[in-house]
Amino acid sequence: MLKGIHPAISPDLLKTLAEMGHGDELVLSDAHFPAHQLHHKVIRADGIGVDTLLKGISPLFEFDAYVDAPLIMMQAVAGDSLDPSVEQRYLDAIKSAVGNVPNLERIERFAFYDRAKQAYAVVITGETAKYGNIIIKKGVTPVK
C-alpha cells in the first residue's frame, strides 16, 4: 500500500495510469461490458464502483484540456432511458477529488464500443448501473 493512493487503485491500474500518455483513453466499464471481446488489455476491479475508481484516479490523472470533452459516456439506445443519477455520481466523485469537473459528452453505443477498442485499456468494475461506462482521456501532466 502506498500513501496518497486510493486503496481501490490496484497495482495493475496504477501501472497502467503511469504508462498512459497524452491523448490516451481509459475505459471504466460496468460489470456487463464486453471488455474481453473488445480489448486485449483488461484490468479487473470487481466489486468496485466506477464512482469510487473516479475518486481514486482523478487526483493522479490530468484530464485532457485540448479536447471539448475528456469524459465520454454512452447514449441510451432508442426506446431506452438513462438514469441521470449515474452520470451525477461520476461527476460528483471527480469534483470531490479535484474540485472541478471536465466536460462530458455522450456518444452512440456502437461508437462507444469502437472508441473502447482504441483505448489504452479497459477496467471492468463492479458497477451494475445501466449505461455505467465512462471513457476518460488523459492530458498533459503539469510540471510543478
- Strand partners for 92: none
Pair 138, 64: CB distance under 8 Å: yes
Query: Does 100 carry a binding-site annotation?
Result: no
Query: For this structure, is 32 an active site residue?
Result: no
Q: Which of 22, 32, 36, 39 is catalytic?
A: 22
Computed on alpha carbons and rounded to an integer, the radius of gyration of the chain in Å comes to 14
> Cα–Cα distance between 120 and 41 in angstroms, integer?
8
Q: Is 132 annotated as a binding residue?
A: yes
Would you say 90 is a known binding-site residue?
A: no
Separation in Å, CA 18 to CA 12, 75, 116? 10, 29, 19
Tell me whether residue 103 is annotated as binding.
no
Return the active site residues.
22
Binding site for substrate: residue ranges?
A: 30, 109, 131-133
- Residue ranges for the known binding site are 30, 109, 131-133
